[in-house]
A and B are shown apart, each in its own frame.
Chain A
Amino acid sequence: MSAGSIIAVLLLAFVGTPVLGLVFKWVDRLLTARIQWRKGPPFYQPFADILKLLGKETLAGERASVGTFLLAPLLGFIGITVSAAVLWAVVLKPDTGFVGDLIIVVYFLVFPALGIILGGSASGSPHAGLGASREMKLVVAYELPFILAIAAVVLNAAGVEHAVPSFRFAQIHDAQSLSGPLLGSVSGFLAFLCAVAVTQAKLGLVPFDQAEAETELMGGAILEYSGPALALIYLSRAMLLFVMPMFVITVFWGGLALTGWGLLWTILKFVVLLIVIVLVRNTTARLRIDQAMTFFWFVVTPVALVACAISLQAFRGS
């Protein structure tokens, strides 16, 4: 990649993604307000929230391990920024990348949850510890169907190209330009549904927000955070609201296009995913943590396994 492309990708990941993430967060709050027959905040609200939090002092509990407590939000931020950089590089130049860059992105997308777990455990508060343990259980529940869903579409993409399956964004991009979005097939659509369910859990939104659980745990894992550390957590959550749909669109729905009618179609895809996420968030109740684990292990994982089986059959046949 040329120097210009590298600078463009870094700018998009470090500046563009936070801004777009905060805009998506505003859309989320506006849609939530409208669903509740309210007016909702003005468009600059998430930016005002971040600026305000930067001006507050940082407090830590008596029993907190202060180093880990303050570095944990940075871990989440790094994870999302690296994933965003790889995804933007795929959007700008689909042929670059390396074998396994899909696995890198999946790996770095675990970091936000890890940051919550570490930060909650280091807070020195029983509420935060409980929130951290719930987040750990959620991660154990949803990572498996996520990887199975991705494996199903990777097999589909390899089958389209009659090549060896490599977990590589370039292969997925080429397969989708040849034969349309990977969610067009039965196995692809089932895998897409699993990915959307996992997205809701990764974003920590109802029905899977047990880690934060406002009315039960008083903020759960992020209870003790204040000031710039809380601003980083808020920003990471907002960026994840943008990066997760971007990942799902890139892998399942034909990828992003930045020129011409493709741009309009891309924006429409983002809007549809955001509306699904916000509607589910506002019309369901929070599950108990054991109900959430049962849901991911015994409903989402079998669907993902079925998708993998169909893909494997088709791949062997081709």
Chain B
Amino acid sequence: MAVLDKLKLWGLKKSPWVYHVNTGACNNCDIEVLELLTPRFDVERLGVLLVPSPRHADALLVTGICTRQIRPRLQEIYRQTPKPCLVVCLGACALSGGIFHDAWHFAGPVDEVIREVDPDAMIVYIPGCPPKPEAMIAGIAKALAQL
């Protein structure tokens, strides 16, 4: 039913629950993610909730280069997230490896790792080292508008 699908899409746009995955980050991006939940930026206005389980999530906030150790685990977490879901590559490390690009433990930028599991994955890129909270909110808002 078209009406029900429109309602579900509206729900998805207004209520993105995020699960934070740190795939080997220096923690700077993670701290900036936590700042989003503080009163200054307050993403709960947009309906964003930090959920404790990937099974509850609509968006995976992935920070960090994907190290060799976590590569299969990140793919497993992506499989465990019910579709439709977004993957948000947060920060320069998740986009392309950042300053750690030539390191021995770098196992591919996050979008290649996810596309290996699901070629049609919806991936959002938010650059910055770390991205400013305003940039993160803008990125998530633009991604939701495009759903």
Contact = CB atoms under 8 A, between A and B. Distances in A.
B33 to A, nearest CB: 15
B75 interface: no
A15 to B, nearest CB: 17
Interface residues of A, number: 35
A59 B55 contact: yes
Contacts of A47: 11
> Interface centre among A33, A56, A215, by most B CB within 10 Å?
A56
Interface string B33-62: 000000100101101000111011010000
A38 B56 contact: no
Interface stretch (A141-149, A225-233, A262-270, A304-312): A225-233
B10 interface: yes
Contacts of A214: 52
Contact of A51 (B7, B45, B56): B7
B25 interface: no
B39 A49 contact: no
B72 interface: no
Interface stretch (B76-84, B111-119, B122-130, B135-143): B76-84
B14 interface: yes
A284 B123 CA distance: 39
B10 A48 contact: yes
B38 to A, nearest CB: 8
A51 B82 CA distance: 15
A215 B52 contact: yes
Contacts of B70: none
B9 interface: yes
A8 interface: no
A29 interface: yes
B105 interface: no
Interface in A229-288: 230
B8 A29 contact: no
Contact of A39 (B42, B51, B53): B42
A218 B12 contact: no
Give chain B's interface secondary structure class: helix
Nearest to B79: A59
Given A33-B44, A45-B47, A49-B47, A55 B55 contact: no
A51 B39 contact: no
Contacts of A56: 58, 82-84
Give chain A's interface secondary structure class: loop
Nearest to A33: B44
B14 A48 contact: yes
A42 B53 CA distance: 24
A302 interface: no
Nearest to A32: B44
B15 interface: yes
Given A56-B58, A219-B52, A224-B55, A42 B45 contact: yes
Contacts of A54: 8, 11
A52 B58 contact: yes
Contacts of A40: 42, 44-45
9 contacts: A33-B44, A42-B45, A48-B14, A55-B8, A57-B83, A59-B55, A214-B52, A219-B51, A219-B53
Interface of B: 5, 7-12, 14-15, 39, 42, 44-45, 47, 51-53, 55-56, 58, 80, 82-84
Interface of A: 29, 33, 36-42, 44-45, 47-59, 214-215, 217-219, 223-227, 230
